Amino acid sequence: MDLPQLRALVAAVETGTLDAAAGVLHVTPSAVSQRIRALESATGQVLLVRSRPVVPTAAGAAVLRLARQVELLVADTRAALTGAGGPAGPPVLPLAVNADSLATWFLPAVAPLAADVQLDLRVADQTMTSALLRDGTVMAAVTADPAAVPGCSVTRLGAMTYRPVATRRFADRWFPDGVTPTALRRAPVVVFDRTDDLQAAYLRRRTHDRPSPPTHHVPSSADYLAAVRLGVGWGMVPDLQTGPDDGLVELDPEGAVDVVLWWQQWRLRSPSLDRLADLVRAAAGAALD
């Protein structure tokens, strides 16, 4: 396995096609295909499913992790020799983070790195971000999964506290007698996306079944909060996004849910990755419970 072969694999997965990878690498599509075939011969494994977009196989995900690790080490070494502003640019750090962390504490944490690295942020539910580590898409992730992905270290960051909230007008209309199972089965609810289980878990706990109230999906942290503030429905909103003057009321004082977040990253000695981890842990220590 050599560097051009590994770069061809990364480019193919990132762009989705061999033709697009050729454009990124400034070579012909045939050269990209030859490099990936040579990599498959060297490993004795099929690494890509030639679909549109191309998809790494299980073996391809393992080699993709190696390729990204090599790229990071090369970029760190180049930056040490020529500075981050060299012709190839600073190292690229692909990261996975849940939307609520991104909208609150995460961006201020990593902003000091902006001049020295290129951040490639992938947004996913906190229960799904570890999957991006497993398939080699990212180097580190904010995740709700405490079980270490193979080849990764795990550090507890803290907990984000979510509470069921709504506008006063919404609460008066849909919960005139308080948060009862009957009212919860009827009141519209705002859900982030179809992987978001916070509201469903709260409903199961309070109603002891699986109700299906009218549901609005709003897959953006800021717009989710806006939807709740506009009275579209009730929702589980983190304390970091609410305040005394936001017009929202807590529906159920016993309904708070703590989502514990963890930092998982490759076990790789990289100055860029180590600095990133230090900043994330410090910011999480100040913002989370």
Q: Return d(Cα 62, Cα 43) in angstroms, integer.
A: 11
Is the distance from CB of 217 to CB of 224 less than 8 angstroms?
Answer: no
Q: Express each pLDDT in 110-150 by its tens digit.
A: 999 998 888 999 988 877 888 888 877 888 999 988 999 88
Beta-bridge mates of residue 260: 159
In whole angstroms, give the CA distance from residue 262 to residue 146: 6
Q: What is the pLDDT of residues 50-74, one digit of tens each?
A: 888 988 998 888 898 888 888 888 8
CA-to-CA distance for 160 and 176, rounded, in angstroms?
29
> What confidence score (pLDDT) does residue 88 get?
61
Q: Where are the domains of the chain?
A: 1-83, 160-259
- Inter-residue contact 151 to 65 (CB < 8 Å): yes
Interval 266-275 mean pLDDT = 87
Asked if residue 89 has pLDDT above 80, the reply is no
Region 200-209: what's the mean pLDDT? Answer: 94
Third-level CATH fold of 160-259: D-Maltodextrin-Binding Protein; domain 2 (3.40.190)
| Better pLDDT: 128 or 209 | 209
For residues 139 and 66, what is the distance between their CA atoms, to the nearest angstrom? 11
Distance CA 72, CA 118 (A): 11
Tell me the CATH architecture of domain 1-83: Orthogonal Bundle (1.10)
Question: Is 0.75 topped by the overall pTM?
Answer: yes
Q: Is pLDDT at 266 greater than 90 in this prediction?
A: no
Q: So what's the pLDDT on residue 112?
A: 93
Asked whether residue 252 carries a pLDDT value surpassing 70, the answer given is yes
Residue-wise pLDDT for 160-185, tens only, equals: 999 999 999 999 999 999 999 999 99
